[in-house]
Amino acid sequence: MGTASLSVEQVESRLKSVRCAICKTSEFTIDRRTMQPDGEWKGACLKCRYSFPIHTDMEWYQRTQPDIPYLMKGIPCPKCQARGVKLDFRIVMSVRDAFYFVTCTACKHPFVEKSSLETFE
């Protein structure tokens, strides 16, 4: 596969659930010119222009990070409390903050989970 399962607009809209590492606002854009075929995109804060990587190729990521599928099975949904999510994409907002954008496999509720794994890549 190797391509994002979500559209750019869907990713942009879901980014609103996190805050900019610099100015703490929640309005982001994706620079269409930086979109790589391998699923690497650049997100940018609309207010302060801070940019950060967005990783959309989750198939490859889950193959190379053996803990991830196991971790995804244990994440509880804030809406229905069921455990188990699908990893949609992830971002590394700063050296301290990485986030997984996930969807509950039971009720299809999309939400954000802070990553405890790779805080510095």
Total-model pTM: 0.89
More confident residue, 2 or 18: 18
Question: How sure is the predictor about 1, in pLDDT bands with cuts at 50, 70 and 90?
Answer: very low
The full set of domain ranges for the chain reads 8-114
With CA atoms as reference, report the closest residue to 56 among 92, 105, 29, 81: 92
Read off φ and ψ for residue 89, nearest 5 degrees: -165, 170
User: Where does residue 49 fall: left (phi above 0), alpha (psi -120 to 50 degrees), or beta otherwise?
Assistant: left
The per-residue DSSP string of 52-96 comes to EEEE--HHHHHHH-THHHHHHHHPBPTTT--B-EEEEEEEE-SSS
Percent of the chain with pLDDT over 90: 74
Of residues 48, 50, 58, 47, the one with CA closest to residue 11: 58
pLDDT (mean) for 22-44 = 94
The string of pLDDT tens digits covering residues 37-76 is 889 999 999 999 999 999 999 998 889 988 898 999 999 9
